[in-house]
């Protein structure tokens, strides 16, 4: 399932961050065709962290493989965050509370760690951000590491039953100034090689976002997790501060 002539439009920026809203003029396959298409695949020939290293940095320990963690993005979890992280690995999506998605992300160890864990497994990251009135479901396709296929993957997600009304966005670190439309169009093409070689914390998010009332939002997160097989198979992980691989 794909959409032609994808266009990236800058909708807002700030000194350390820019968000590009994605519009898709032109024809798209029918919702029925999208629904029947297979789920998006992850890149296999690329840099990824090990699950053990992701667990190690979640405990504040150094990773064995250079580049897994970053001093600029915290990954160490407190007890409450670890409980949510353990549950998230089983469910395939993480529930996040806070003042706002974008402001929450940069300084949220739970978000950073879960995204790294999804990257290690080669699956999309699903976040359920709990708001006061409505919740936001965020499907981050960047852990798939196939930027040329992100538009197709987003169209696939929006073509599933009950996923209408989503907004596609891409976020990127800026150099302090706003980008024009021409520069925005170069956004993904300039980062193709980076998706093969760089740690996930250095890569932009490419997301599909939905606003839903609480019960509908949780149902949508569960649906996406099942469709994309993002949950951890086998026995459920330990909860709370229990010892895990990489733990103290």
Instruction: Give percent above pLDDT 70 in the chain.
Output: 70
Q: And the tokens for 39?
A: 């789920």
Percent of the chain with pLDDT over 90: 52
pLDDT band of residue 178 (cuts 50, 70, 90) is very low
Mean pLDDT of 192-214: 94
State the chain's mean pLDDT as an integer. Answer: 78
Q: What confidence tier does 6 reach under pLDDT thresholds 50, 70, 90?
A: very low
Q: What is the mean pLDDT of residues 20-38?
A: 57
Can you tell me whether residue 217 is helix, strand or coil?
helix
Rounded Cα gap, residues 82 and 57, in angstroms: 12
Q: Are 45 and 196 in contact (CB under 8 A)?
A: yes
Residues with Cβ < 8 Å from 230, sequence gap 6 or more? Answer: 92, 93, 118, 121, 123, 124, 125, 126, 224
Residue scoring higher pLDDT (27 or 195):
195
Query: Whole-angstrom Cα distance, residue 172 to residue 195?
Result: 13
pLDDT, tens digit, for every residue of 63-108?
887 778 777 778 889 999 999 999 999 999 999 986 434 444 456 8
What the block records as the tokens of 180 is 């024009």
154 pLDDT exceeds 70? yes
Indicate if the pLDDT at residue 35 is higher than 70: no
Q: Is the pTM of this model over 0.75?
A: yes
User: What pLDDT is stored for residue 73 in this prediction?
Assistant: 79
């Amino acid at each position: 399932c794909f959409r032609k002539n994808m266009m990236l439009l800058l909708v807002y920026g700030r000194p350390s961050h820019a968000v590009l809203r994605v519009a898709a003029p032109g024809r798209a396959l029918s919702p029925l065709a999208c629904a029947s298409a297979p789920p998006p695949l992850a890149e296999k020939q690329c840099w990824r962290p090990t699950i053990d290293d992701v667990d190690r940095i979640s405990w504040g320990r150094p990773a064995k493989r250079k580049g897994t963690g970053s001093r600029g993005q915290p990954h160490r979890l407190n007890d409450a965050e670890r409980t949510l992280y353990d549950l998230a690995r089983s469910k395939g999506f993480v529930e996040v509370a806070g003042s706002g998605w974008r402001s929450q992300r940069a300084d949220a160890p739970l978000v950073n760690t879960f995204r790294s864990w999804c990257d290690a497994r080669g699956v999309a990251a699903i976040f359920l951000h709990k708001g006061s009135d409505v919740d936001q479901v965020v499907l981050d396709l960047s852990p798939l590491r196939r930027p040329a296929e992100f538009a197709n993957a987003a169209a696939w997600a929006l073509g599933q039953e009950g996923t209408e009304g989503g907004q596609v966005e891409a976020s990127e670190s800026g150099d302090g100034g706003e980008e024009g439309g021409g520069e925005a169009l170069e956004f993904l093409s300039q980062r193709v090689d980076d998706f093969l070689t760089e740690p996930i914390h250095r890569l932009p998010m490419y997301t599909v976002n939905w606003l839903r009332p609480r019960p509908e939002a949780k149902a949508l997160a569960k649906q996406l997790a099942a469709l994309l097989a993002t949950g951890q198979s086998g026995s459920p992980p330990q909860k709370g501060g229990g010892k895990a691989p990489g733990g103290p």
